[in-house]
Amino acid sequence: MLTLAAMHVLADTNDPYYTSVKAGAYDKVKPQGFPCDSVFSQGCQGPHLSKGGLIAVALAITVVGLIILGLTVYYLVLLTRKATT
């Protein structure tokens, strides 16, 4: 496959596509603003959770944690009962 690609590069007489790109063509599709990272903090103005959203997330995490904890305790109780019999 590499040999075929090399042969194509050697035999092709056309210029690569990027040599025909007009100056400023990228400006039409260039993203505006700043990225959201530690250097550009002004770019971090995305959607934030409301107070109700935070409560919903906290409640969901608590319920899932309690379910996992309950199943773990139930499993350990079953193991101890099986070991004693």
Residues 23-67: tens digit of each pLDDT? 888 888 888 877 777 777 777 776 678 889 999 999 999 999 999
**Is residue 70 over pLDDT 90?**
yes
Flag whether 62 is in a domain: yes
Q: Mind listing the pLDDT tens digit for each residue in 20-32? A: 878 888 888 888 8
Is 81 inside a domain boundary?
Answer: yes
**Domain assignment present for 82:** yes
Reported pTM = 0.46
| 47: region left, alpha or beta (phi > 0 left; psi from -120 to 50 alpha) | beta
Q: Is residue 18 part of a domain?
A: no
Instruction: Answer whether residue 15 is part of any domain.
Output: no
Asked if 50 contacts 57 with a C-beta cutoff of 8 angstroms, the reply is: no
Helix, strand, coil shares of the chain, percent, nearest 5, are: 65, 0, 35
In a domain, 84, yes or no: yes
In a domain? residue 12: no
In-domain check, residue 36 = no
Residue type, 80: T
